[in-house]
Amino acid sequence: MTNFGTSFTATVRTTPEHHASGELTKVVTDLGGIVTGMDVVHSCHEDVVLELTCLIGGEDVDRRLEEALNALSETEVEHVMDTVMLIHQGGKLEIQATCPMDNRVELARAYTPGVARVCLAIAEDPSRARELTIKRNTVAVVTDGSAVLGLGNLGPEASMPVMEGKAALFKRFADIDAWPIALDTNDVDEIVRAVQLIAPGFGGINLEDISAPRCFEVERRLRETLTIPVMHDDQHGTAVVVLAALKNAARLVKKDLSSLKIVMSGAGAAGAAVTGLLMKAGVQDVVVFDSKGALHQGRTFDDPDKADLAKRTNPRDVSGTLAEALIGADVFVGVSQPNLITAEDISHMAKDSIIFALSNPNPEIDPVEAHKFAAVVATGRSDYPNQINNVLAFPGIFRGMLDSGAHIITDDVLVAAANAIADVVTDENLNAAYIIPSVFDDGVAPAVAAAVAAAATK
């Protein structure tokens, strides 16, 4: 599968003849890319300056693009910009004041001496911090950089662009002020203690990109000790959206969740959470695979979380290969690695099979291949239908928790969130290419928030 993941804008001075002939476009296509825009910056009889924007995959693309363009006669590249790097210059976040401070009176109200009265009020009744500070609308996005996207342990500094992006999504979709907190430690005790120490300044904690199995313990301990909502999005955000999509896919092919035979590839944070929530929603037959094969009670596990998962799943005691487990299965859910199954494997699944190949950027099977035999196909990618994207879940979940003042995110809360997402897709809208709403559907976050608030305050 080709993945045009890199966008470049090249400022090029060339002749009007080159511009008209399409030779610039041919340079890009010869490199395996596509032109997405060509804008004239300056034009005269002798030459023209263009901004050529294109998508190209591969390594060292900026150098190759510049060399290929310069190789044209009477053409000079002034500079090549990676547009992704460009928008990250200086970061993606800023702080803005919500009250004016343009004169002495306004300053005295917002800061000293007026602010002292507010401090004393909170000291007398700490619960007023939700009323008188940003706490009621603020989430810390916390990571140790140990599992950044699918790239592995990149460290805290390299995790910051992702954490900033997460914070920006909180603001865009739920009007929540979130802030990235990257911790320079992989020690569970230190992570837990650091979050406990900063918790007074936040209304919620979103754990992000912390590797398994440490993420399970971090989340458990923080939920036990903090009185604000805590959620590891890689686990529960993924689980909520998968459940929502599966409910609608099953509705489309007219199968009950309780009757589905599901094969899950991936027993890490996402796989374990997805499995648990599907079972909470009524699924009874899930076979989970890790890199060593199917999880079953005949195996010995060093990881207690995997041992527990083996006890709760695989009622038919499947112990063969992944391909063998897919024979007669209704659903495949992949949260593991690219190119794991084939169209031939899917051909042996049950009629009207459902494929969720969620490894990113390259899924467990090419969606085009999967569609040869599957009735419904979903991926984690934005360039194919049915994108399973956590942004459908976490903004609304935290919006509902913050608004309700509740702090315990139960499985019932997560199921309620999944039901709300699924219900956004009406019977009239439902089809094989639309089992999950768009991330830009403005109705999703409010629906999730309302459902979460109701479930959390029961």
The residue behind tokens 């060399």 is 67
For the chain, helix (H) and strand (E) counts, in that order, are 19, 14
- The sign of the dihedral angle between the CA atoms of 421, 392, 388, 377 is positive
What stretches of 223-330 adopt beta strand conformation (E)?
230-232, 261-265, 285-290, 293-294
38-47 long-range CB contacts below 8 Å, 24 or more apart? 41/11, 43/16, 45/16, 46/15, 47/13, 47/14, 47/15, 47/16, 47/74
Q: Hey, what's the torsion of the CAs at 353, 356, 359, 361, to 10 degrees?
A: 100
β-bridge partners, 13: 49, 76
What is the three-class DSSP state of 78? strand
As a whole number of angstroms, the distance between CA 401 and CA 408 comes to 8
Q: What residues contact 197, with CB distance under 8 A and at least 6 apart?
A: none
**CB of 286 within 8 A of CB of 262?**
yes
Q: Secondary structure of 263-289 in the HEC alphabet?
A: EEECCCHHHHHHHHHHHHCCCCEEEEE
Nearest to 12 by CA among 90, 68, 94: 68
Q: What's the token pair of residue 264?
A: 């899950």
Q: How far apart are CA 375 and CA 352, in angstroms?
A: 5
d(CA 424, CA 435): 10
Q: Give the C-alpha separation, 63 to 60, whole Å.
A: 6
Contacts of 119 (CB under 8 A, 6+ apart): none
CB contact burial 171-207 (16+ within 10 A = b; e otherwise): eebbebbbbbbbbeebebeebbebbeeebeebbbbbb
Token pair in block for residue 102: 């343009």
Return the active site residues: 111, 166
Contacts of 393 (CB under 8 A, 6+ apart): 233, 236, 237, 240, 241, 244, 417, 418, 421, 448
Task: Give the 3-state secondary structure of residue 137.
Answer: helix
| Six token digits for residue 296 | 């079953």
